[in-house]
Amino acid sequence: MRASRSKGIVLLFPSLLLALFLGACFPCLAENTVSSAPAVRPNILLLVAEDMSSRVGAFGDLVARTPNLDRLAREGTRYTQTFTTAGVCAPSRASLLTGMHAISMGGQHMRSSTRPEGSYRAVPPPEVKAFPELLRRAGYYTVTDSKLDYQFSGTFSGSGPTTLWSAEGSDPDWLASAELEQPFFALINFQVTHETGIFTPLGNGWPNSLMHLVVQFGRAWLLGIPEAESPVRSADVKIPPYYADTPLARADIARHYNNIYQMDREVGAILDALEESGLSDSTIVIWTTDHGDGLPRAKRELYDSGLRVPMIVRWPDRWRPEGSPAGAIDSRLVSFVDLAPTILAWGGQPPARYMQGRKFSGPKTEIRKYVFASRDRIDKFSDRERAVRDREYKYIRSWYPEKATGHRLAFRDNLEMMIELWELLESGELNAEQRTWFEPTGSERLYHLPSDPFELHNLVGEQEYAAELDRLRQAYEGFRERVPDWSEETEAAMVDRMWPGGEQPRTAPPLIESKGGWLTLRPVDPHTSVAYRVGDGRERLYTTPFLLTSGSSITARSVRYGYHESQEVSWTAP
């Protein structure tokens, strides 16, 4: 009975979230039909599934059951060569939000808020602002759900800079925080596909650890995520050659497919709500995932199984770029750092100068020759790897050549197939391809992707590929010159530089200046953002001086990413 109730909650939540949001942002829509007059700027809806590679029917996966994503693909454009900048969530999301590689702003380790030696927050250069804040400055109403995880925030809502979002959380105060006639940007996450969803559900046997018990309890009771329905059977799945083909491996991969099926239903509910609200014709929809599959040798890795993700963009006709008809396939290389400047361009804003990505949609787009990615500390496991990929080759450099990336990891070791892989390794039952992940990486790896899509055969040392190896080495060195790498110093040194003495700095409060009834909120640091509230009204992001009537009061505070927010200051108009 509980599972049935949870299932309804999960399926309805995204559509309710969107419907509440639309009704609050545009109260006229709650009572009347949408005006046929075109909006000046589009609404933008970014849908992000967790821990998922291209297991979508429209991307050629014949096992996947994804009718809603397939419909979205028929109506939009599939980007088939999209890559995250890291194979794990927090660094990847840091890049998504800022348009910068996480290695260049202190967000490269997994993760800052759960570091074993002591938590911290990444402190990007002071001028860096996440693109939702830039959209908010430009007049967009920005909203997200309970998942943050940007490295300069904690994992969940309420833990990160308050200037990014007009509203955040699973149940934000929509009605109190909306303005009429604002375009919206919304980021909605789908946690049903997270790696924890592949852990054996509670009630199907003893938990493998206390962590297993806690995360499954959280999914089932706190987040209301049910065990997915099962249209995909174990016998249906295809096993890549780096796994042993066993019933346990098949069961875990089938469970992942069925979680994807549940996510697809949630996407369908959102698309239906958008259509029923009359906003499909004014909303750009992007669907993607935060990195590859939450499976061994995928998540946390620099292989394509960890970095390559599906992406679909659906434009209303009035904003559809030339050369992107419905159902189009775009095979250009796209990096996650490209999303921020692209979304800003859709909102009529230029990219920030610090952004390292380039827009992939619209006029004057540049074609990428390479994408770049990084791997650093993973939980308790210290590491440093960098990857360069073009359309044919992948180059990976390791600073710890004696280490294997198939290592013990308390979180991942709760997967039944991971437990079995360790047992098969110890008993000598894995073949050479399956053992590779558990062996030292060496200092360099080179893969020819058309002939070796699973990246199993390292070509370093083969004379036939010496020129390609040298070319990709040079590509990496060029990237290294352009993009600062904060892992040139130890994590401890980096943290001490950002938080001297291990203490989180506090932002200085803003100055409130009044002239002729007009208020200016001036941060001590010119790059610091200021949030303010007039009386008991909603919190706003300060952009320009404003008029405050006699007797009205204001409270304000300054915000810098990674710092404590400042103490509030108050002022009452005479």
**For residues 333 and 365, what is the distance between their CA atoms, to the nearest angstrom?**
12
Among candidate residues 199, 563, 204, the one with its CA nearest the CA of residue 411: 199
What are the residue ranges of helices labelled H in 459-555?
Answer: 466-482, 491-498
Q: Does domain 511-572 have CATH number 3.40.50.1220?
A: no
Whether the pLDDT of residue 20 is over 80: the answer is: no
| Whole-number pLDDT of residue 12 | 38
Positions annotated as catalytic residues are 89
pLDDT grade, residue 201 (50/70/90)?
A: confident
Whether the pLDDT of residue 341 is over 50: the answer is: yes
Top mean pLDDT of 279-283, 320-324, 395-399 is at 395-399
For residues 243, 246, 247, 248, the Cα torsion angle rounded to the nearest 10 degrees is: -50
Please count the other Cβ atoms lying within 10 Å of the Cβ belonging to residue 416.
19
| Whole-number pLDDT of residue 226 | 66
Q: Which CATH superfamily is domain 2-30+42-375 in?
A: Alkaline Phosphatase, subunit A (3.40.720.10)
What are residue 467's phi and psi, to 5 degrees? -65, -40
**For residues 553 and 549, what is the distance between their CA atoms, to the nearest angstrom?**
9
Beta bridge partners of 540: 532
Whether the pLDDT of residue 385 is over 60: the answer is: yes
Whether 69 and 314 have beta carbons less than 8 Å apart is answered as no
Domain boundaries, the chain: 2-30+42-375, 385-502, 511-572
| Whole-number pLDDT of residue 174 | 38
pLDDT in tens, 410-444: 999 999 999 999 999 999 999 999 999 999 999 99
Among candidate residues 440, 421, 441, the one with its CA nearest the CA of residue 431: 421
User: Looking at residues 200-216, what average pLDDT do you find?
Assistant: 82
**For residues 252 and 395, what is the distance between their CA atoms, to the nearest angstrom?**
30
What are residue 100's phi and psi, to 5 degrees? -125, 150
Whether 242 and 220 have beta carbons less than 8 Å apart is answered as no
**For residues 499 and 488, what is the distance between their CA atoms, to the nearest angstrom?**
18
pLDDT grade, residue 221 (50/70/90)?
A: low
pTM, entire model: 0.93
